[in-house]
Amino acid sequence: MRIVELDEEARKGILDGLLKRSPNNYEKYNETVLEIVERVRTEGDQALFAYTNQFDCEGIDASNIQVTEAEIREAYDRIDPRLLETIQKALLNIRAYHEKQKQYGWFDTTPDGTMLGQKVTPLQAAGVYVPGGKAVYPSSVLMNIVPARIAGVEQIIMATPCGRDGKVNPAVLVAAKESGVDAIYKMGGAQAVAAMAFGTKSVPKVDKITGPGNIFVALAKKAVSGYVSIDSIAGPSEILVLADDSANPRYVAADLLSQAEHDELASAILITTSWELARKVSKEADRFVKNLSRKEIIQKSLDQYGYILVAGTKEAAIETVNLIASEHLEIMTENPFEDMMKVKHAGAIFLGAHSSEPLGDYFAGPNHILPTNGTARFFSPVSVDDFVKKSSVIYYSREALQKVHKDIEYFAEQEQLTAHANSIRVRFEAE
């Protein structure tokens, strides 16, 4: 891995390079995605089946686009029993974590006859997108469906591409069933997002779409946002490690590569104040790459977006951490809890030598669907909050309104909204 001294010029160049990976910069795909979305919106099943047959598997139509109970039973027969057991163990942790995120309504009253509050209501329908293609992600199934189920969503559907044989990976089906999905559809890409956003004869319309996907999925989610809610427009995966000379260089190198293997656009960055650690991590990473199954993808990722940055001070290192606002942040320093308190922007934070990023991907419990490309500055991980909405509740008695009605009328008149003022005034005409 390349080692770069962290100065202002290097920081700006790296930040600019990372931002080029954002889905907002993939305009060359926009026209294609918008055409797919519009066709599915206007033509429904006809367009959905045509694109599914073109991009995923042939022979998909209204009779078989939805996964049957028989197919799910077959998946249980095909899955490795140890994987099923692992999925069930992970589910316990994920449920326990997300249960703590549940929100409840509240109401405050006063003696003069007012009541103000907040009513929390689950969404009626949620659509979960689970990628296929280069890899299989049963873990993403758990991370999408569990918080929706805990929130109390009435109907949860899942879209995932089928293979050329017309089947969905058994681990994905089993994970969905274990999580409590209501229906699974064999569809992927922009056409799946559009089908869930607008509804077709075969696929119900949802209120929100969550889950990661490729650039076509990301751009499709962007296109339908406003017709439905979305979690975020996810970009390529990324990891940032903040480490000092107390860190184990083999651990750091291994963790950097754990994200670089996702795809060629993934980024893996170490920020440290130690030149010695930088050199050791670079050597360890080079050794690891040679023996890993996805070494070609990893090497391209490192060549394009992999850096070891050596900062002059810890303050400069943490400032850069906050500027990058990484999806995953590992802190392997002498005082990781203390350093965490100085971090303002990160999707998920992993503390200490034994809290490596894959722990969060699969097992610990927090959600692994995280903001990318610097959006951790204003977005959060997927959570139970994503599947509820809040309504404010207002009640005033006549006596309570009488005390303040002239203030409200005056305020409205100052904004030249006389009908607003009249709406209050009419209640006290007799006076």
Side-chain-side CA neighbours of 279 within 13 Å: the count stands at 3
For the chain, how many helices (H) and strands (E)? Answer: 17, 14
> Helix, strand, or coil here: 57?
coil
DSSP result, 247-294: S-HHHHHHHHHHHHTS-TT-EEEEEES-HHHHHHHHHHHHHHHHHSTT
Side-chain-side CA neighbours of 264 within 13 Å: the count stands at 4
* Catalytic residue chosen out of the listed positions 238, 261, 327, 330: 327
Sequence-separated (6 or more) residues with CB below 8 Å from residue 200: 40, 44, 45, 48
Q: Based on the number of CB atoms within 10 Å of its own CB, is 415 exposed (0-12), middle (13-18) or buried (19 or more)?
A: exposed
Closest listed residue to residue 332, CA positions, set 242, 257, 238: 242
Q: What are the strands, taking DSSP E only, across 183-258?
A: 183-186, 208-210, 229-230, 238-243
Phi first, then psi: give them for residue 290, nearest 5 degrees: -60, -25
Within 10 angstroms of residue 302's Cβ, the number of other Cβ atoms is 22
One-letter amino acid at 370 equals L
368 catalytic per annotation: no
Side-chain-side CA neighbours of 286 within 13 Å: the count stands at 10
Distance in angstroms (rounded) separating the CA atoms of residues 253 and 48: 43
Within 10 angstroms of residue 348's Cβ, the number of other Cβ atoms is 20
Sequence-separated (6 or more) residues with CB below 8 Å from residue 106: 117, 118
* Positive/negative CA dihedral, 410, 413, 415, 420: positive
Phi first, then psi: give them for residue 347, nearest 5 degrees: -75, -55
Q: Which two tokens stand for residue 252?
A: 């750091």
409 catalytic per annotation: no
* Catalytic residue chosen out of the listed positions 178, 238, 262, 328: 328
Degrees to nearest 5, angle at CA 351 with 347 and 357: 60
Active-site positions read 327-328
